[in-house]
Amino acid sequence: MQIRPKNKVDEQLIAMLREESYKGNAIWKKVADDLNIPTRQRKIVNLSKINRFTAENEVVVVPGKVLSSGELGHKLIIAAFRFSASSIEKIKKSGSSAMSISELMKKNPSGKGVRIIG
């Protein structure tokens, strides 16, 4: 039995990710698989973890929610399914940028140089 999100926007995002993965971009398949679970089981990642496991100017995707615990010490591009309001403030304060997964997929359809954290 396949678990499906009840939200139409979630279903559309997962469908877009799967469609892009059929073109040979395996990273989007992994992100789609990570999102195709119940929302209460999705990944939750703090900024401190992102800071610890990334380097300057890296592109990171979080198939879940980014929370504001911790600080960012370098510039990043962070794409996530959801962000807390305070995490967006901290991300912008560090000079980094936050965007949705669909925005990142449009900017970088091949998924090259993108790292999944979660």
Q: Is 69 exposed, middle or buried (0-12, 13-18, 19+ CB in 10 A)?
A: middle
**pLDDT in 10s for each residue of the chain, 118 residues:** 455 556 788 889 999 999 999 988 889 999 999 999 888 889 999 999 999 999 999 999 999 999 999 999 999 999 999 999 999 999 999 999 999 999 999 999 999 999 999 8
The CATH architecture annotation of domain 39-116 reads Ribosomal Protein L15; Chain: K; domain 2 (3.100)
Task: Give the C-alpha separation, 104 to 44, whole Å.
Answer: 19
pTM of the full structure: 0.89
User: Pairing mode, if any, of strands 114-116 and 58-67?
Assistant: parallel
Closest-CA residue to 58 (of 18, 97, 107): 97
Q: What angle do CA 9, 11, 17 make, to 5 degrees?
A: 105
| Encoded amino acid at 106, one letter | K
